[in-house]
Amino acid sequence: MPSSRLLPVLLLALGAALPAAAQTSSPQRPRTVAGVCGATNWACVAECIDAECVDTCMRQDCEQALERLKTCTQKAGCAPDDTECGPKACLPICQRSFEPAPPSPEKEVSAPCEGVTAPGAAPPKALVGTWTLVAASLPEDETVREERIEAQPRSDYARSLQVTPSGCFVLRTSLEAATLGQGNSLVVRAWGTLDVSGKDRVRLRTRDGQAVGPVCGDKRVIPLTGPKLKFRGSAYVWDLEEGVLTLMVDDETKQTFQFERAAPESGKK
């Protein structure tokens, strides 16, 4: 699968494709509080690679709540770079926009891959490292393609994939104030094992996850596993060409994502 052939088209449409694993995830996950943003949304986001998938996860119950919060901060006259104004001026609306903090605070897992080893073969050395998403494929349907092209990459959904020599992976998505409202941000992580199948196929088996960051003026550590939150995992065909890692969903959609290796200091646990 020659990645160089795909890259020009993919760069035009970063964020335009929706992985099959996420297309059906959001409607099937029950919510603990209706009409607000919460663990249901973050668990859905955790397995996303592209921006359209994140958008779909955020639309369920969350979109209108965030729109009300944005309207409040605009009326309050909060400066774009003032991270304290929004939570102070719009605290009641902010608190109604997000699920309440869990009664028993969870500790942040700082090193989710510590002690984790994939049950089968170790991943190829070429896959090991931290990768930053740079492109996502367009749907093959021409009518859908014309409607879903995004000319600009979505910088507010920064995504990275970390693969360790032991076969652990961490998929990381940053949701910033542009998405969650002024003063709010979350780093949503999913982690598990990377199972190798043959020369060019891998499966990401998500085991756990957390969403961590300031929400309504307080730091939140939100668990993404539980009886009502189930991860699905995804299988991919992979290829590495000229420093570009290509992952193609191993199903009929053939949706494709391309990553470039991150600088050493950009790697996240």
Residues 17-35 pLDDT 10s: 333 334 333 334 445 556 7
If pLDDT is split at 50, 70 and 90, which confidence band does 7 have? Answer: very low
Say how many C-beta atoms besides its own lie within 10 A of residue 70's C-beta: 19
- Closest by CA to 229, choosing from 247, 211, 251, is 211
Q: Rounded distance, CA 13 to CA 138, Å? A: 6
User: Which 8-state DSSP code applies to residue 264?
Assistant: G
Q: Kindly report, residue by residue over 155-192, the tens digit of the pLDDT.
A: 557 889 999 999 999 999 999 988 898 899 999 999 99
Q: Where are the beta strands (DSSP E) in the chain?
A: 129-136, 157-163, 168-175, 186-197, 201-215, 218-223, 234-241, 244-249, 256-261
DSSP 198-254: TTTEEEEEEEEEEEEEEETTEEEEEE--BTTB----EEEEEEEETTEEEEEESSTT-
What lies within 8 Å, CB to CB, of 203 at 6+ separation is 194, 195, 197, 233, 234, 235, 236
If pLDDT is split at 50, 70 and 90, which confidence band does 96 have? Answer: very high
Query: What's the pLDDT at 213?
Result: 94
If pLDDT is split at 50, 70 and 90, which confidence band does 4 have? Answer: very low
C-alpha pair distances (Å), 110 with each of 103, 114, 172, 189, 231: 21, 9, 13, 11, 20
Point out the least confidently predicted range of 6-20, 55-69, 96-110, 231-245.
Answer: 6-20
Query: What's the pLDDT at 51?
Result: 79
Contact 157, 179 (CB under 8 A): yes
Place of tokens 């304290």: 84
Point out the least confidently predicted range of 47-56, 72-81, 87-96.
Answer: 47-56
If pLDDT is split at 50, 70 and 90, which confidence band does 241 have? Answer: very high
pLDDT at 240 over 60: yes
Query: What's the pLDDT at 140?
Result: 56
If pLDDT is split at 50, 70 and 90, which confidence band does 80 have? Answer: confident
Report the CATH fold assignment for 3-102+112-266.
Lipocalin (2.40.128)
Q: Rounded distance, CA 65 to CA 146, Å? A: 30
Instruction: Tell me how many helices (H) and strands (E) the chain has.
Output: 10, 9
Query: What's the pLDDT at 28?
Result: 40
If pLDDT is split at 50, 70 and 90, which confidence band does 48 have? Answer: confident
Q: Kindly report, residue by residue over 181-232, the tens digit of the pLDDT.
A: 889 999 999 999 999 988 899 999 999 999 999 999 999 999 998 766 677 7
